[in-house]
Chains A and B, each alone.
Chain A
């Protein structure tokens, strides 16, 4: 779907460029006009006034960057000297880049752990809120608040609350006789720690699911009750199918976001003068890409990395779409 993208937009955008100043012409005859060839312009003109911001933005900040990024990925470019064409060398180099493989593996593992937990936790919270009656307004505010915290502060909180010796997380685990790991320094526990910390910001997903839950027709629950379905059966056969579009949506969006994890991990593990905390376990893909681009000024190689990320995300999303065909229920017959 992206291959066709630039050409389609270019076609649509040319008229916008030619549009004469005002474009508020009289077109009272719009609804009853016949479809002559050449009437496209008259038909689309009023719309193009409104679409023009997006069309300009698409051309300047999406289409051109995509083309240029594809070109850069075939070059050696350090911003100071002009790009030097080197063919597919960057892509060949990726195959033997251990750091890249590490970053990709870290990111995949993190996403694989994070997304299911995130969805389950937000579903549980949404179900509880749905049953909380008037108190739900208060609680949904509570659960949404962390979303408003700058991720840098979240990264700081992670370092402090998950601290191996005296962080509250291990203190609480200690109450139950569990000897908590060194979350922030033990490579095996860095990613699980970040996953748990990320659960703190489920608020937005909770609200989406809550909205979906509240739109399940009451009727369905009543007939389920009449048929003698118990709590679990109702949940599994009525609630989950009815909110499956919202669930699917959250899964897709969080997977895409998971592959682009940056802020919290970067804050907590990377930065100037940071040697003690610098940790391969927290080297996520976008962090590595960012380092290559703006740290080492390997703009060409970083562009190639960006395209690999794009391909990975596309493949994962496509798999999710295919799987969802069987599992997501869309009410009615929608286009």
Chain B
């Protein structure tokens, strides 16, 4: 259900992946290994890459990379410019100033917004990962009649636009007296999310079943097999789930618009929107404040991403994506 409007998860092709583990460690992931340990794998069957083609690719990537990085650099540099110069297109500010940061800190409770966002993000991402893994395990390991139909239902919910459930869900939280609190922003995640259930199930299906049956024979109970054997093995795909959800929740605007009322409960996207309304559209035109707040609120995500990026990308590559 949480794969609603805010989330545009990069999904997985419907095909395959069930026939995983053994086959994966062939052509494709040789690259992954080679990157992790540059000197380890340099097999003769490496991809058809001519030297010239590679250099051309580098040149094209560099040009495109500059296009992709430019907005960040511009944003950061604008945050150090005085009000009158924000719109000049210099990358190095003509007049360098920290005033914007001081002013933003006084104008807006950014620390509180960041704290709220961290709370929501941590709760949402951990709960959705654990619950989705549980459900995925239920579908991957157990055999019972109706399993296929039930799983089909899980997939069908992915197609449902968030807008359809938006209003009744609001009414539920309203009836529970939770509107105006942070609860509605994460508590729905306690019940798992169809996309992650699908992703993790694909991964579980690729693990050798004998392992789990052996653990059962050795006396592990159902929960023990799941928690002590399946979950540790699934770390790569769980890391993907975690990071996708962190990204989705950190940037979620619509739920924050619907449920949050007072400035001191705002999350970062909601707070930024409030700043845009007040300083961008409010006739004041203090774009330097908005720009600076954007920098402050984007940087934590960038750091998280840098720390996690190998896990994300290798996880995506090794989880549900063998087409």
Contact = CB atoms under 8 A, between A and B. Distances in A.
Nearest to A292: B167
Nearest to B302: A148
A5 B156 contact: yes
A216 to B, nearest CB: 8
Given A160-B87, A200-B71, A260-B5, A65 B164 contact: yes
Interface string A154-173: 01110111010010100100
A126 to B, nearest CB: 11
Contacts of A143: 64-65, 68
A189 interface: no
A267 B163 contact: no
A168 B150 contact: no
A245 B277 contact: no
Number of chain A interface residues as a range? 35 or more
A279 interface: no
B92 interface: no
Nearest to A68: B168
A194 B253 CA distance: 18
Contact of B13 (A150, A166, A246, A309): A246
* Residue among A40, A128, A156, A275 with the highest chain B CB neighbour number at 10 A: A156
Contacts of A254: 8
A132 B31 CA distance: 11
Contacts of B258: 294
B1 A68 contact: no
A91 interface: no
A293 B191 CA distance: 26
A268 B98 CA distance: 26
Interface in B69-101: 69-72, 74-75, 78, 86-89
B132 to A, nearest CB: 8
Nearest to B190: A53
Contacts of A303: 167
Interface string B12-38: 111110010000101111011011001
Nearest to A302: B167
Given A49-B222, A145-B302, A313-B161, A128 B152 contact: no
A50 B164 contact: no
B236 interface: no
B169 interface: yes
* Residue among A205, A249, A276 with the highest chain B CB neighbour number at 10 A: A249
A161 to B, nearest CB: 6
A271 B142 contact: no
B49 A133 contact: yes
Contacts of B74: 161, 168
* Residue among A149, A242, A244, A262 with the highest chain B CB neighbour number at 10 A: A149
Contacts of B5: 260, 262, 286
A325 interface: no
Nearest to A224: B48
A149 B253 CA distance: 12
A214 interface: yes
A193 B292 CA distance: 23
B180 interface: no
Contacts of B313: 140, 144, 207
Nearest to B78: A160
Given A262-B254, A290-B254, A133 B54 contact: yes
A211 B317 contact: yes
Interface string B34-73: 1100100000010111000110011011001100111110
A273 B165 contact: no
Interface of B, helix, strand, loop or mixed by DSSP: helix
Interface residues of B, number: 130
A151 B6 CA distance: 10
Nearest to B1: A61
A44 interface: yes
A237 interface: no
Contacts of B316: 207-208, 211
B238 interface: no
Interface in B276-322: 276-278, 280-283, 287, 290-291, 294, 297-298, 301-302, 304-306, 309-310, 312-313, 316-317, 321-322
A166 B88 contact: yes
B172 A60 contact: yes
A115 interface: no
A56 interface: yes
B44 to A, nearest CB: 11
A43 B145 contact: yes
B268 interface: yes
Nearest to A53: B131
The list of the 9 closest CB pairs from A to B, nearest first, reads: A57-B191, A50-B138, A204-B10, A47-B142, A65-B168, A274-B281, A245-B13, A44-B144, A214-B28
Interface of B: 1, 5-6, 8-16, 19, 24, 26-29, 31-32, 34-35, 38, 45, 47-49, 53-54, 57-58, 60-61, 64-65, 68-72, 74-75, 78, 86-89, 131, 134-135, 137-139, 141-147, 149-150, 152-154, 156-157, 159-172, 174, 188, 190-192, 197, 216, 221-223, 226, 247, 250-251, 253-254, 257-258, 268-269, 272-273, 276-278, 280-283, 287, 290-291, 294, 297-298, 301-302, 304-306, 309-310, 312-313, 316-317, 321-323
17 contacts: A44-B142, A54-B197, A57-B131, A61-B165, A134-B35, A137-B35, A145-B302, A146-B68, A148-B301, A150-B269, A151-B253, A153-B294, A156-B276, A156-B294, A215-B24, A273-B281, A305-B163
